[in-house]
Amino acid sequence: MGLLPGSRRDRQAALNQICRTLEKRALDMNGVVDPYAVVTPDEKILLELPGSSNPTRDATDICGSASLDFYYLKDVQTPRNPIARWKIEMLPGNSKAYLFVGSKGEKLDSSSAIDTPKVLKEVVGIPANKPILTGADLVPNAKASVEPRNGVIINIEFNEKGTQIFRDFTALHIGEIVAVFYNGKLLTAPTIRDKINDGKAQISGFKDLREAKLVTNLLNSGTIPVRLDVIGSKP
């Protein structure tokens, strides 16, 4: 576990809040009944997952982070921006991955662990290019489902501030591309077709429904301020 700042009393309060978040996340895991998390005297967290068929996997999932970021791909070619450095296309044979081709012929595969940080740095332009929206701008009511046309998706809704930002952004950038990253991995990069007034959107790009449900669980339950590592488990 990462270090929490403050006095012992402050750390205890923060750890107790983390326990409640873990319990909330665990409630949405298949088969888990009455999850319980408690802080030990040495400031570790003991997590009980009654009913789990795979406690190590479920604990690892529950303790994960949930970073959702929306970026404007200003350096990717569109009809409105035909001389941008990068071209984007779906990766042949993989409907969930993108291929970026640079002006000098360089290629970046969004599904490659090696290329992923390069996509963020060279195509998105971080850290100079900041996300227009993040998971903090969402109402905690995300829902995962499967649609005949779009496959596995998550329906999201922005809060009041996020809705205004999204409305203004989509109005200004019709015909351009917004990219959605989850924990640094590109999920989807749709073209903006129209101004979006209601603050609602769909996110695709998940490998299966289980992954999408896990992401909704993490998004809806709130963030955890430190990294948590599973150091052991018992059946």
Domain with CATH 3.30.1360.200 in the chain: 68-84+129-218
Which helix (H) or strand (E) segment holds residue 24: the answer is helix 8-27
**pLDDT of residue 5 exceeding 70:** no
Q: Supply the mean pLDDT for the chain.
A: 91
Single out the residue of 144, 142, 150, 130 nearest to residue 200, CA to CA: 142
Kindly report the CATH number that applies to the domain delimited by 68-84+129-218: 3.30.1360.200
pLDDT band at 4 (very low <50, low <70, confident <90, very high): low
Write the pLDDT tens digit of every residue in 73-90. 999 999 999 999 999 999
**This model's pTM is above 0.85:** no
Q: Which of 41-45, 52-56, 101-105, 230-234 has the lowest average pLDDT?
A: 230-234
Terminal-to-terminal C-alpha distance of the chain: 22
For residue 235, the model assigns a pLDDT of 64
For residue 227, the model assigns a pLDDT of 83
Share of the chain above pLDDT 70, in %: 96
The burial class, CB within 10 Å (0-12 / 13-18 / 19+), for 40 is exposed
CA distance 187 to 116: 11
For residue 150, the model assigns a pLDDT of 82
